[in-house]
Amino acid sequence: MTLRYRQPGVVLTDHRFTVPLDHAEPDGETIELYAREVVASDKADQDLPWLVYLQGGPGMPAGRFVGRQAWLERALREFRVLLLDQRGTGASTPANRQTLPLRGGPAEQADHLTHFRADSIVRDCEAIRPLLTGGAPWTVLGQSFGGFCTVTYLSMAPEGLAAALITGGLPSLTARADDVYRAAYPRMERKVAAHYARYPQDVERVRRIAEHLLREDVVLPNGHRLTAESFQSLGILLGSGDGSHRLHFLLEDAFVLPTARGLELSDAFLEQVQQTLSYASHPLYAVLHEAIYAQDAQPTAWAAERVRAEFPRFDAAKALAGGEAVLLTGETVHPWLFDCDPALRPLKETAQLLAARTDWTPLYDPARLAANEVPVAAAVYHDDLYVDTAHSLETARAIRGLRTYVTDEFEHDGVRAGGPRVLDRLLALVRDET
């Protein structure tokens, strides 16, 4: 039975679909996908075009909006929206430390997870599209990794698309993981420098916390071991519009004194750090993160960790010894994460096998993209922490007819923080209204 219910200004419908685990074997094992349909209350019974939203990640479920939040305000004026929990995430058949052992050992788990990349997500969309639209093409809105999936969609099944809208998610068509992170670390340094310029008191606060973590063993409430390196990964906050401010407030009361043990990090600080750093709700983000860049016979081999060695300024111990500011990192996944985070520890060997894998298949078709006929528009955020601007613009030139909206008004989360404005601009671009 299809469940239909209401929130302020919208009608929601829960959908569950059965799709092949491996679309190359349509009669083989299946998994379940969950998606939430959202339509404006006053249009609930109208025949509207569909817009499917592909969340960032990898490994993130679709957002749980209340009413017409963020970009939904604009989308619901004319679309029936589908918020898809991509395979392995949210209310879809889960893939995590609790379920993956059912596949067997680490080798079997790694083989299983090769079916959770952008190509499988696109095939999922094509499997469910006819069930909802009657076969008509739909519009896709891809945020971040969802934008990567959208470029894969344009490569594999453009006939399913009426239009493609991308926000902060134009991937390089050719860069390997090493190239991605070699471009990323200088951006991280710029973002941290900008944060310290805004909040100069945080330079000493970060130094004190890093020094404490190099000296003491600190464990978060969920069992996550907080090392200096894992603390540095709080820099991921700097990729969002309000992230610098959130980071500042997080740092300002880190220590509690006096205590029976002397100087300690406060419970309140540790709880907030745990909420930011834990992968319990999205383990596939860590396990598959570098695999989203893999397209050839080269292993990713923990690219972010290897390339970090080329940027010694990110070494907290050396920065402290030299009297320098401690730099923070951004959207990077490292092998030590699988020792620190209890949600990832059981998946350590599986992640190692994926990092060593050499049989990755292509995710993009440059020739098909060069001949693209689908209206496409992409928001490219100037100096985006997570996705390299130069890579994005190079790809924009490689996709026939793609129009860009390049802006420094927003960070990576512009489609959320900007309310209806970013989506409104992209729709105008694909319709030649601007």
DSSP states of 292-311? GG--SSS---SHHHHHHTT-
The pLDDT value given to residue 23: 97
With bands split at pLDDT 50, 70 and 90, how would you rate the model's confidence at 133?
very high
Determine whether 195 is an active site residue: no
Choice among 224, 289, 391, 412 that is catalytic: 412
123 — phi, psi (to 5°)?
Answer: -65, -35
Determine whether 384 is an active site residue: no
The pLDDT value given to residue 32: 98
With bands split at pLDDT 50, 70 and 90, how would you rate the model's confidence at 210?
very high
Report the SS3 class of residue 35. strand
With bands split at pLDDT 50, 70 and 90, how would you rate the model's confidence at 325?
very high
pLDDT beyond 60 at 1: no
The pLDDT value given to residue 172: 97
What is 3-173+364-430's CATH superfamily? Alpha/Beta hydrolase fold, catalytic domain (3.40.50.1820)
Please state whether the peptide bond connecting residue 283 to the residue before it is cis, i.e. omega within 30 degrees of 0.
Answer: no
pLDDT beyond 90 at 297: no
Instruction: Give the pLDDT mean for 108-130.
Output: 98
The pLDDT value given to residue 261: 79
With bands split at pLDDT 50, 70 and 90, how would you rate the model's confidence at 124?
very high
The pLDDT value given to residue 31: 98
The pLDDT value given to residue 72: 96
pLDDT beyond 90 at 80: yes
Contacts of 101 by beta carbon, 8 Å cutoff, 6+ apart: 109, 346
Choice among 92, 120, 144, 155 that is catalytic: 144
Residue 326 to residue 203: CA distance in whole angstroms: 7
The pLDDT value given to residue 193: 98
With bands split at pLDDT 50, 70 and 90, how would you rate the model's confidence at 302?
very high
Report the SS3 class of residue 33. strand
The pLDDT value given to residue 3: 80
- To the nearest whole number, what is the mean pLDDT of the chain? 96
Partners of 37 in the β-ladder: 13, 82
Residue 24 to residue 275: CA distance in whole angstroms: 38
The residues spanned by each domain of the chain are 3-173+364-430, 177-356
Q: What is the DSSP letter of 282?
A: -
Please state whether the peptide bond connecting residue 61 to the residue before it is cis, i.e. omega within 30 degrees of 0.
Answer: no
Choice among 47, 217, 359, 432 that is catalytic: 359
The pLDDT value given to residue 278: 96
The pLDDT value given to residue 391: 97
How many residues appear in the chain? 434
Determine whether 392 is an active site residue: no
pLDDT beyond 70 at 419: yes
The pLDDT value given to residue 411: 94
The pLDDT value given to residue 363: 97
With bands split at pLDDT 50, 70 and 90, how would you rate the model's confidence at 263?
confident
Judging by DSSP bridges, how do beta strands 403-407 and 376-381 pair with one another? parallel
Partners of 218 in the β-ladder: 226
